[in-house]
Structure formats: structure tokens, C-alpha cells
Amino acid sequence: NKKSKLALKIAIFKAHINKQEQLVARFNKEIAAEQVSVKKSEAKLSGKFVENAPADVVQAERDKLEASRRRIEKLVSYVKSL
């Protein structure tokens, strides 16, 4: 009976570790996608776009950039907490 309880605890622990690994992989994938978004926004905001686009469109792109940066920080924090 002690062996079966230990086996159950080990199985639960392995499942927990597997779940953590899946979460880390998912968060890392999302971080990479957000990093691509940041690079695109930065490139857009450093070019002629700022000069030619309406102010509200430029501001929307700046907001998008800032949101992506905050999301990256949040996801990195999640990964570190696991």
C-alpha cells in the first residue's frame, strides 16, 4: 500500500512537471511572437510612417508597441515564477 501511494505521488509530481514544461513552452512561443511584433512596430515608428500617417494612427502603433512590451514583461515574469 505504501508503494502504491508513493507511485501515485510520483505520477502526480511528473504530471505537474510536464504541465510546467508545457506552460513554459507556450509562454516562450508567445514571447517570441510579441518580440516580432515589437520589432515590426519599432521599424514602422522609426521610418517615414511617422511623418506620413495621421497622428491617431501613429499613436495607435505606439500604443500597440507599448502593449507588446508589457505583455513580454508579464510573460517573462510568468516563466520565472514556474
* Residue carrying C-alpha cell 510536464: 18
Q: Which three cell numbers stand for residue 16?
A: 505537474
What does the mean pLDDT of the chain come to? 94
Contact 37, 64 (CB under 8 A): yes
- State the sign of the Cα–Cα–Cα–Cα dihedral 14, 20, 24, 26: positive
Dihedral pair phi/psi, residue 29, rounded to 5°: -65, -45
Residue 5: pLDDT band (50, 70, 90) is confident
pLDDT of residue 61 exceeding 90: yes
What is the pTM for the complete model shown? 0.80
